[in-house]
Structure 1
């Protein structure tokens, strides 16, 4: 029997290097996993380790016409960590990277999507952020509970619950 396929969209954030934790948890929960990284997100992850762990190449750029699709279609998507930039572009429909393009299309395809924001409190104070979260909620996106960290401090990795993405998706995946 074919396992459901989870896309993990990874953005450029300090905790991104730990995305293997989400991949492991998803695989243990019987998901097959592929990673899509924002172009800047690629610099925050160990691509070789992730490709070994998933068995799939990391996607970051659009394919040219006629190129084979390196990943099967997604049954669900987890965006973790999701940056201020990606959240706002996604909510506004600005499809300027493969990762955001996939997220924008997911709504039209009805693909269950969970997002785990990771940003600082100064970014979270910007009016666009809360407006974007509200727009994503209206679109049916499931939003995690991360509390923003202090500006210029990074951190919060100890509070970043990778498995929350799977918890949010569980009811959608079962139904």
Structure 2
């Protein structure tokens, strides 16, 4: 079975992560869920349900040195929703957060990785965001941003997050193994 690491950050669509896990599982993937510390705090009451759903511990922190890894190796990674902060930390190699550390290392391990931001139109006016998107793309990360991907909305306005688009992109990179 193909193992998908699904990494969510503290943007409102992370509240829909259980439905996304189910959709990924319906596509034949074994899903391991990782969250930034803030996203984990938002979802704290649901963590036991999410662990039961995935069959794996939900992780938001690095493991202790020498501790065994509790997840199978990733075949593909999806970072969604990816906040302004996460996109910038990742492109700059700032790995203080578990999910950022894993995806930064995934570049060097050649693990196919898809990212779909969730940022508003005010954040994307900051030049670092575009530099970060360009940098991640140059590193081989599929970034679903702009036409055909996530398109920012005005601050305070919420539109449906295109989860299906993100899962389709993962499917195009790594088909589920029997």
Cα distance in 2 for residues equivalent to 1:102 and 1:21: 23
Match of 1:41 in 2: 39
Match of 1:12 among 10, 13, 18: 10
For 1:13-162, list aligned pairs within 5 A: 13-45=11-43, 46-144=46-144, 145-151=149-155, 153-156=156-159, 158=160, 160-162=161-163
Q: For the Cα contact (< 8 Å) 2:76–2:113, is it kept in 1?
A: yes
SS of structure 1 residue aligned to 2:81 = strand
Q: TM-score, normalised by structure 2?
A: 0.91
Question: Which 5+ residue runs of structure 2 have no aligned equivalent?
Answer: none
How many residues end up aligned between the 2 structures? Answer: 170
Q: For the Cα contact (< 8 Å) 1:38–1:98, is it kept in 2?
A: yes
Cα distance in 1 for residues equivalent to 2:11 and 2:140: 24
- Shift in Å, 1:136: 0.8
Runs (4+) off by over 4 Å: none
* More off after superposition, 48-57 vs 126-135: 48-57
SS of structure 1 residue aligned to 2:163 = coil
Q: For the Cα contact (< 8 Å) 1:116–1:143, is it kept in 2?
A: yes
Q: For the Cα contact (< 8 Å) 1:14–1:154, is it kept in 2?
A: no
